[in-house]
Amino acid sequence: MKEFKLTKLLGITVGVLTVVIAIGYGFLAFIALGLSNAWDDGQSNSSDENFVMFVIITLLVIGLVTAIGAMKLENRVWRSVYFSCCLIIGIGTVIYAFIAFGALGWKNELFLLVVGLLYLLLGYLVKGKR
């Protein structure tokens, strides 16, 4: 039980941060969609709303899997799946933070970089059984 104490704490923290990112992204995206509809140019872009909902739901699911999955690390198979997910999400988030450098504002980019590094740290802690 005490084998994954730090990992569980960090997993819940990173999961909550990912959910905060999803909510923040959704809030800003729906404001942008509302403004684009208010300044109607005559073209309908209904696919924009579908893409925004897809991204928000994906981020929420990732955050929930991260937070809830940290409680099931005693299972060997789940531990390897969780490690792989943390590693892929961490590397992807760090790469995205560097690709989007200058486009999102330094606070958002720093937040994405920190979340990506926390995912990598979480993967390291899962692998080390801490």
For 58-106, write each residue's pLDDT tens digit.
Answer: 999 999 999 999 988 888 899 999 999 999 999 998 998 888 877 777 8
What integer pLDDT is reported at residue 61 of this predicted model?
Answer: 93
What integer pLDDT is reported at residue 83 of this predicted model?
Answer: 93
**CB-side exposure of 55: number of CA atoms within 13 Å?**
15
Phi, then psi, of 74 in degrees rounded to 5:
-70, -25
Cα of 106 vs its chain's centroid, Å: 18
Tokens (6 digits) for 55: 């991204």
Place of tokens 């991260």: 66
Instruction: Identify which has the larger pLDDT, 118 or 25.
Output: 118
Distance CA 78, CA 91 (A): 20
Confidence of residue 29 (pLDDT cuts 50, 70, 90): confident
Query: What's the whole-model pTM score?
Result: 0.81
Burial label, 30 (beta-carbon count in 10 A; 0-12, 13-18, 19+): middle
The yes-or-no verdict on residue 28 having pLDDT over 70 is yes
Nearest to 8 by CA among 124, 122, 110: 122
Per-residue pLDDT reduced to its tens digit, 36-59: 777 776 665 556 677 888 888 999
What integer pLDDT is reported at residue 41 of this predicted model?
Answer: 62
What integer pLDDT is reported at residue 46 of this predicted model?
Answer: 58
